[in-house]
Structure 1
Amino acid sequence: MSSENGVDGPTRPGAHRWTTFKYTRKVLVAAHNVTTLTRLLDVIPAFDNDERVQLFFTHLAGDPFRHGLNEAMTNAGALILPWKEAKGQSFDLAISASHHGALDSVNAPRVVLSHGIGYTKYSPQRAAGSGQRAAGSGQRAAGSGQRAAGSFWPFH
């Protein structure tokens, strides 16, 4: 559902008049490669029954491992939004399964999911004791991580 000028659909001005359901929230699902897309496809069913939410999929430009990603998104039935167009819009939430890339250039609160064992994996080549922190080194000042009630989830 995309053209050379971007998506012919819910992102165009006046598009709401053509939609079956009037969405009020936009969620960007940003994949870097097929592995991260697979992880994201595991969690997006959480939005299946919420007619207020329109999901938009994009793949971040420049990832060297994105071979097959566009086809995988198309096969999943995703509404694909070109990265250059996604960067110019605001979203209520952006979900990714990778920390790298330019996701911080999207105007949205971001959630980054793990997509594998990552840095927590056991590696017999690691030196004994590496990666261990001293007790209390990860503590924050009391109240520094608190949010106002209801501020975390944008879908009230």
Structure 2
Amino acid sequence: MNSKHIDLKYIRLSGILLALLLSACAPSGGSSDDANDTSALDDKGAEVTQQNLEVDRDFDLRSTQDLQLTVTNTNTSAGEGYLSICRAKQEQGNNVIDYENCLLRTRLTEEVYMTSLKLPAHYDKLFAALWIYDVSIPPSILEISEAELKSGAAYLAL
């Protein structure tokens, strides 16, 4: 009795699987003219897009840009410092340094610090902040301009 129940269960399961297989492999039911219509639409869309395409001559398909950064600590008598290179953010209509979006945070122990950064190509302005460990000295903050970013080199005296 038990084996008949199991056999019946497998027969039902096999039937369901066969029905699913056949319905999944069946044609969609459209005519062959429909296929020609979609290819005609695709050709029209591509043709219009290519005719209207204009690319700036300076566009080189790069998604990143390199920046050679040289920072000179002009206040070496105050001791070591901490350098932050961060993005700019708008705050009450002014560009200010965004300490939550920094690309570089490092300790400065030498008078001249040099590094290379790989930045996203859409960055157009950064800020550099040098904090001296002496809390009585306010941080030195400079803007790294779009021209410096595009040239690939920035020289900062903080």
Query: TM-score per shorter chain, which class?
Result: under 0.3
TM-score under structure 1 length normalisation: 0.22
Over alpha carbons, which structure has the higher Rg?
2
Going by fraction, where is strand more abundant, 1 or 2?
2
